[in-house]
A and B are shown apart, each in its own frame.
Chain A
């Protein structure tokens, strides 16, 4: 037998993903698990899954875990972390969960500077329920509830959560990334690690917004979806490092 040179991260479970082809959840799950392994925190990390496509995320990680009511992941995480400050607690949430129904919990957890980490998957659509408008849906974007395209007169504008959170003193790490190229994947992993370090070092709240493709609900194949993400989503939500109190140390 040869020596294994590449293994799945220990912090991922053996459970098969339920995600569609071309969806970015799988990449991001792997990055989070690699970061947890590299930081050596698997035995004290708890995942709070949301309601949405990643509702099963607590099963996909080889970690203690639970699933919060829709939008409440950061409240659940707050309660857990306050009860056991020695734990590393992270939420994994989509745009509907974090930026629509859970906006209040998101903003207040960030503002309190909760020592928590949030992975925010922004794919501009409600995935689990079948492609309805998300708070981050682009102007003109067609969804099942904006069949004529999102109209700002009626539906308002795409919400920029990272920009909003960037004004808050409680935030210790905040970056918007993509995972559309190998280089960007590496950069996203670095950001995720720093968002965990912000918590571990007790600096405050860490969040990484990942622009993600949803070929199924965008009605595209994976290649078209990646192109659409680069051409449209990146324009509305430019990747950017907003806050870094972690530094390189």
Chain B
């Protein structure tokens, strides 16, 4: 057992990636995640890895594409405006079915916005920020420890499905320090074998071609059908969520990441006042755990969704509940983090309004 140490979220994310076997990092500085790049610049040479500061996020995502073509574990990290710039490349990566990991430490938007924690990139992350029919696996950590754990999962899922995986954090997860327990270093000789498709030189075999391209629509549709079959498989196998104090609930709070974590305090406050409130916190934002949410919300008088946005995930909550339970929304935008007290006040107001 390793013991717990205090680490800043961004640095813990970087160390977790290295321990998951990632030895390749490409990135461009942007607040509030630059500590990931700085940590990688210092740490990767110690473990025989490669760090490269790129000229832009556009170059970054394409370097990730090139590195992923060789089958080695590779990642980048960025924050909202930078993630927007990467969307074209992510679409290509999804189409070429390349395993790699992205971290978006989300800040306030739109546009230049600010550098405070926000959740306004949910649509972009989960509904496809780039062109075409593709999906990215999206994981939403709510603590530094969970961010560490999800980094390891992200690399494993990327390899398992040959698909990009996004860890959707926010400025709070990135910037705060918390005690974490880090996993052991992965044995690099034991990572998944990609030799059946990787571009490493056609020695003693036919050449491998990696592409999202086919000029024949019928052939391209076949490729698309293959992607879709994979996405259905991911939906079947990989949904993850956390239920908090949901037994005997009468009201359900739903939130992910930082707001999901804050909702636990709100539920505790309500329980302290004798109101039976539970929390549903999706961990995979794609695939979204619709069925699990429908099940836990089945007996709720109403559902309150809370996000650090104008209301994006709430659309998935409504899809899950299909009008069977009233769904309300409370949000703060632009980098303002809601307090448990203000959320509780809003909840009580909803109760009183009946």
Interface residues of A (CB under 8 A from B): 13, 42-46, 48, 55, 58-59, 61-69, 72, 75-84, 87, 104-105, 108
Listed stretches B50-58, B120-128, B244-252, B341-349; interface member: B50-58
Chain A residue nearest in CB terms to B204? A43
A46-B199, A75-B59, A76-B65 are contacts. A83–B211 as well, Cβ < 8 Å? no
**Is the Cβ of A43 less than 8 Å from the Cβ of B202?**
yes
Residues of A close to B24: CB separation below 8 A:
79, 82-83
Residues of A close to B64: CB separation below 8 A:
79
**Is the Cβ of A108 less than 8 Å from the Cβ of B66?**
no
Task: Pick the residue among A58, A63, A67, A78 that contacts B63 (CB under 8 A).
Answer: A78
Query: Could you jot down 18 A-B contacts, CB within 8 Å?
Result: A44-B203, A46-B69, A62-B207, A63-B202, A64-B209, A69-B89, A72-B62, A72-B89, A75-B58, A76-B62, A76-B63, A76-B65, A78-B66, A79-B63, A79-B68, A82-B26, A83-B72, A87-B200
Task: Pick the residue among B26, B56, B66, B203 that contacts A43 (CB under 8 A).
Answer: B203
A105-B55, A108-B55 are contacts. A87–B74 as well, Cβ < 8 Å? no
Residues of B close to A80: CB separation below 8 A:
66-67, 69-70, 199
Task: Pick the residue among B54, B89, B209 that contacts A66 (CB under 8 A).
Answer: B209
A69-B62, A75-B62, A79-B74 are contacts. A45–B201 as well, Cβ < 8 Å? yes
Tell me the chain B residues, 33-78 only, with Cβ under 8 Å from chain A. 50, 52, 54-56, 58-60, 62-70, 72, 74
Interface residues on B, range: 35 or more
Tell me the chain B residues, 165-201 only, with Cβ under 8 Å from chain A. 199-201
| Bound CA span A64–B199, Å | 6
Chain B residue nearest in CB terms to A13? B207
The 9 closest A-B pairs by CB, nearest first: A79-B66, A79-B63, A75-B62, A80-B66, A76-B66, A44-B201, A79-B67, A72-B62, A83-B67
Chain B interface mostly helix, strand, loop or mixed?
mixed
| Bound CA span A104–B74, Å | 22
Q: How far is the CB of A5 from chain B (nearest CB, A)?
A: 27
**Is the Cβ of A64 less than 8 Å from the Cβ of B88?**
no
- Tell yes or no: B210 within 8 A of A by CB: yes
| Bound CA span A45–B55, Å | 26
Task: Pick the residue among B26, B52, B201, B211 that contacts A46 (CB under 8 A).
Answer: B201
Residues of A close to B54: CB separation below 8 A:
75, 108
